[in-house]
Each structure stands twice: as structure tokens, then as C-alpha cells.
Amino acid sequence: MTVTVSTESSVIDQQLAEARAAIAALPTLERVFFTACGGSYAVMMPNEYFVSSRSTSLETAAFNAAEFTARASRRVNSQSVVILCSHSGTTPETVEAARHARAAGALTVAFTHELGSPLAEAAEYVIAYQHGEGKSEAYVAPSLMLRLVAGLLDDHEGSTHGAAVDAAVASLPSVVPAVKAKYADAADAWGFSYRREELIYTMASGSNYGPAYSFAICLLQEMQWVHSAAIHAGEYFHGPFEITDVDVPFIALLGLDETRAIEERAVKFLTAHSERTLVIDAKDFGLDHLDESVRGIAAHLIFGVVLRTFADALADHRGHPLSVRRYMWRMDY
Amino acid sequence: MTVTVSTESSVIDQQLAEARAAIAALPTLERVFFTACGGSYAVMMPNEYFVSSRSTSLETAAFNAAEFTARASRRVNSQSVVILCSHSGTTPETVEAARHARAAGALTVAFTHELGSPLAEAAEYVIAYQHGEGKSEAYVAPSLMLRLVAGLLDDHEGSTHGAAVDAAVASLPSVVPAVKAKYADAADAWGFSYRREELIYTMASGSNYGPAYSFAICLLQEMQWVHSAAIHAGEYFHGPFEITDVDVPFIALLGLDETRAIEERAVKFLTAHSERTLVIDAKDFGLDHLDESVRGIAAHLIFGVVLRTFADALADHRGHPLSVRRYMWRMDY
């Protein structure tokens, strides 16, 4: 993968403002669809939750990009915004989804690290997020996507999410280093203790299902070759809980949104029956400075950072760098 | 669990007709939501696909019942139908979802085996599907739900899915025994060969993701204590495929809907890199007699039957009956 310099924050602010203005200028907006693949798809899940749980007037759904194009829903039209994301901007399914949505008349907004990539070319509006060395946590994809969605809700419905979300995102550059430092020792101890595990489940609900899904399929399955599944905490008691045992490892998230009670119920059972449970509670993230109305939806931004700290520690103790692949980028598929 | 006699088919037809008529009589219908838990939630996924890929005028989404209630979407209102399902009719989250939806003004339709159950009491309309000894495959929950959804699409949009779906469902009592017989030997051989596996992944997309999900969380995790995850075939190349190896077991479904090419691509890679892959192809189900327009959406009805045949064989060779539980029904949680 080519390493490129991240786009300047002032340029990104301008891109975000232009996309938001274009959405606000639509004569009619009825639907917001999110589509991408893998880790980029996971970034969209909290945003789908945000719209679904807050909006009166907007339909929303999130799909894997190949599934989105194959479904060919006739509801993707000129009254729809389709938000896409691909880090390299070269994911064929996501590029095709952008073309499909645009041909259907939808307004397309692409998040990518690579200006000039096929996805950036295919979509009408592009937001070139930061990544890697020198990035600001306020300008990574999850932060920017949440800002865009809060903005479009406000523009369309007269709600007032935007200012609180913007403030939450602006605080990330100071919050994130503190959170990383706070979890450093716990992550190292966990990485050592779990280094021989062949399977680790993750569990969450609501706006934090996305980070749990991302950790399961990207960090564990893809980057560590550790078996995993992201279990929805509300589904746990309807099947998956029967595989709980003293020696079956779980990472369970406790968020701050309307579904926290669902997660709490699952965690209570889990910790009573398993001795290999890591519970990460967003109440420990130090988010009390955030407006209460957005604390729940902002927590997923921190879960991503905290989970990455645990993944780094696991990779270190397994001697299996997160960058190693056996198939991805190494062959055609 | 109490074993009760199934409702007569003529009574069920009447219940289905009443629910359909009530939906058709709504002054405005804009949304169809599906909500349930576990295996009942899995039954809804193909129906969500059906509406999403066919409808012009209807919004649709499927949620775990606890998540549905917690989200408290304001789009659940008098212009919405909410379809629920619980086998015993006692699933607390689903009963609560019915009450929540009804209080919000939505028309509620519950599928359950138990007339007189809390869910049957909570919902306005009830369809009491058959199950167990003497059931007809045309009167089980997946068959009836598909008929209701095809009917409501036709009533609302002037489409013509209903007759073909009704014919497909009516043919099940003759199709299912033939399919079961066809797969009996293969299922037995698979059950023997896979009896020591501690983890088996499933994979599918589109309208067949539901059966893959149900097999992973209900048959494998819940009833066999075998680790599993249902991988979306479109997500496979964006993370999960890195855990593919010669000795990692997969059950991959090839359906007949618009997403078949997604499944074919994943199966091609999987079978090239794993020696423990069971591919079940709906082309082998003998569905050529069905109208081509509904062959894709009807395939999930057969996948459920075929997968159950494989589960029965696995349970037999593992000496672990599908009825055994360690937590469910044995303690409070």
C-alpha cells in the first residue's frame, strides 16, 4: 500500500462543508444510505444507529457494498444520499456502489484517504480523511463521518446535534492520548495472557456494534488469524450464550447509548460464567466533558482507539505484526 | 417447553388473510419493520431482503427486538407495520417490542406457535404457525411470513409476487421430502467427518444470509456448542478470508437471488484454499418448477430444511442431541 501524506485539516473542513451544503441544498432528502466493505463498513454502523435513533424524517440503512449494488433498491434515487468509504479508494465493490448510486440519481459522498483514487473520481463529493503519521484524531474517518451525519440531521430537521458532535470531535486530540495511556498496562497484560488463544469473541450492541465487528473481522481474523465473531449483545441469550464457558474468551463492550442495558445484561451473565472476559466500559473513557446528548454516540470513536491498543499488545505478544497477510495484497482474488 | 398441537391450516389461512387485509386497509403504509430474537430474527432477514430489493415505496429494516425497542425510532408510527416472531410467544424482548410498536401507533403482526401467549396478546394480529409432529412445510413460520410479505407488496404496489410465492410455498410439502432424501447420505458423511470440529464457519449473502446466521448461532453455537460465525460473503475478502486455511471448516451457501455472484466469488477462493468446505448450492434443490421471479427468494425456505438435515447428522455423530442446553431454560438470566 502506498503511503501518502494526509490532506491538510483546513482542506478537509472545506470538503466537509461542501458535502454538507450539497446535501442541505437537495430539494428533497428522504434517505441516507451507508455502504462500504469490511473495516470501512464498520465505521458506518454507528452512523446508521445515529440516524435511526434520532431522525423523524429520514430512512437509513447500511449495507456491504457488493450487497448494496446487487439489491439495486429503487429507493436509491434523487431523494437519497449515499455515503461511501474506502481507505485506498480502490475497493472495486465500493467504487461500483458509488457508480450505481450516482447513476440512480443519488447524491454520493465518499470518504477516502486517497484523493484522485477511483472512489474519489466516482463520487460527487470527497472527504479525504487523515491516517498514519501526523494524523489528528479529529480528522480520521469515524470523526468526520459523525460530523457530516450530525450536520445533515441538523440541516434537514432543525435538530442541534452538530455543535455538540463538533465539540466532542474537537476534544479527541486531547482525550485519545490520555485514554491510550490509561489502558496501556491493561492492554499489555491482556495481550500476554491471551497470546495463545485461537478464538476470541467480541460483543456489543447499538452504536458500538461497529467497533466490535471491526475488531472481530479486521483485527482478529484478518490481522491476527484468530477466529472470532461479533455477537450482538441482544442476540447473546438467543443462541450464542450456550458456547460461553470458563475458558472461552470474550471482549465485551459497555457503551453509553440507549442500548447499554442490553450490553449490561449480557456482561452480567458472561462474567458469571467465563473467566476469560475483558469488559471495556466507556464510563472509564473520561467523556464527562462532552454534552450528555452526544456522549453515547461519541463513545464508538474511543472504543476504536482502545481496541487498537489491545490489538497492538496482542500482536506484540504473538509475534505476529498486524501488517502480515497471507492472501490480501499478495494474490488476485 | 410445552408441546402443543399446531393450529389447523384453514385457521392459519384465515389469520393470514385478516392480517393482510388489515395492512391493505391502512390509509398510508410507508414502512415495514421486522423484529425478533435469535432464530426468529433470522427468519425475518430474507423478508427484509425481499422488500428492500423489490419495493419502490416501502422502507424496511430488521432489528434484534431489544435493539428495536432501545432505538425507539420515531419512524415506528401509524404509517408502519411491525412484524414480530417468537416461537413460544414468551420472549420478553419481543413482547416488549410489540407493546412499544403498538403504543407508537404501528400495526403489529405476530408470528408464534402459541395462541394465547404474551406475544399473541400483545400484537393486534396473530399468525399461529405449525411446528413439530404433523406440521405442513407450507404452514411453518418462514413460509407464512414470505406469503404475508409478498401479499402486502402486491396490495400496496400492484406487484404480482403473491401468486408465485403462494405456489412456491404450496409446493413445499412435496419438494421438502425429496430434498431431505437427496441430502441424507451427504449429511451423514459430513456429520461423521466434522464430528470433532470445534469451530465451523457459515457464509452466504442476500436472502440466504438468514439461514447461514441461524445455523451459526442456533444450530452450532446453541445446540452443538460448536464455535461459529456467519460471515457475509461480500465481507469475506475484507477481513475474514485471512483465517481461511486448509483445515478451517466452512459451510458456504450458493443461492439463486441477485447476490449469487457475491457468494460464487467467495466460494471460488474458499474451495481453492480450504479442504474442509461444504458448499450447498440451491441449483441442486430442484426448484425449476417455480416461477423464475420467486426462485431466488424461495431458496431460503429450502436452505433451512437442508441445513437442519446436516445439523441432525452432526448431532448424531457427536452424541450431543440438539435438545441439550446448559443454560437456556435451566436458569434465570
Rounded Cα gap, residues A128 and A12, in angstroms: 6
Are A211 and A73 in a shared domain? no
Rounded Cα gap, residues B209 and B184, in angstroms: 23
Are B47 and B110 in a shared domain? yes
Are A16 and A162 in a shared domain? yes
* Residue whose grid cell is 407495520: B81
A75 Cβ under 8 Å from any chain B Cβ: yes
Per-residue confidence band for A59, with pLDDT thresholds at 50, 70 and 90: very high
Summarize pLDDT for A99-109 with one digit per residue, the tens.
999 999 999 99
Count the Cβ atoms, other than its own, within 10 Å of residue A105: 11
Predicted complex ipTM: 0.97
Residue that terminates a domain, selected from A168, A196, A212: A168
Rounded Cα gap, residues B34 and B106, in angstroms: 12
Identify whether the C-beta of residue A305 lies closer than 8 Å to the C-beta of residue A176: yes
- What is each CA distance from B139 to B16, B52, B132, B143, B153, in whole angstroms? 11, 24, 11, 6, 20
Q: Does B324 reside within a domain?
A: no
Indicate if the pLDDT at residue A2 is higher than 60. Answer: no
Per-residue confidence band for A161, with pLDDT thresholds at 50, 70 and 90: very high
Rounded Cα gap, residues B252 and B264, in angstroms: 9
Query: Distance from B33 to chain A by nearest Cα, in Å?
Result: 12
Tell me which chain B residues have a C-beta less than 8 angstroms from the C-beta of A230.
229
Query: Chain A interface, mutation test: which of B235, B250, B267, most A Cβ atoms within 10 Å?
Result: B235
Contact B258 A71 (CB under 8 A): yes
* Cα-Cα end-to-end distance for chain B: 17
The continuous run of DSSP H or E covering A155 comes out as helix A141-157
Are B279 and B138 in a shared domain? no
Query: Chain B interface, mutation test: which of A59, A205, A238, A276, most B Cβ atoms within 10 Å?
Result: A238
Contact A225 B243 (CB under 8 A): yes
- What is each CA distance from A195 to A226, A271, A293, in whole angstroms? 10, 20, 38
Range of the domain at B45: 9-168
Summarize pLDDT for B153-172 with one digit per residue, the tens.
999 999 999 999 999 999 99
Are B33 and B98 in a shared domain? yes
Residue that terminates a domain, selected from B116, B134, B168: B168
Tell me which chain A residues have a C-beta less than 8 angstroms from the C-beta of B158.
none
Q: How many CA atoms lie within 13 A of B330 on its CB side?
A: 8
Q: Please state, for a pLDDT cut of 90, what percent of chain B lies above it.
A: 98
Rounded Cα gap, residues B254 and B266, in angstroms: 10
Summarize pLDDT for B118-142 with one digit per residue, the tens.
999 999 999 999 999 999 999 999 9
**Strand, coil or helix: A232:** strand
Are A30 and A154 in a shared domain? yes
Tell me which chain B residues have a C-beta less than 8 angstroms from the C-beta of A44.
none
Query: Distance from A10 to chain B by nearest Cα, in Å?
Result: 31
Identify whether the C-beta of residue B188 lies closer than 8 Å to the C-beta of residue B57: no
Contact A229 B225 (CB under 8 A): no
Are A16 and A71 in a shared domain? yes
Q: Taking CA A171 as the corner, what is the angle to CA A169 and CA A174, rounded to the nearest 5 degrees?
A: 130
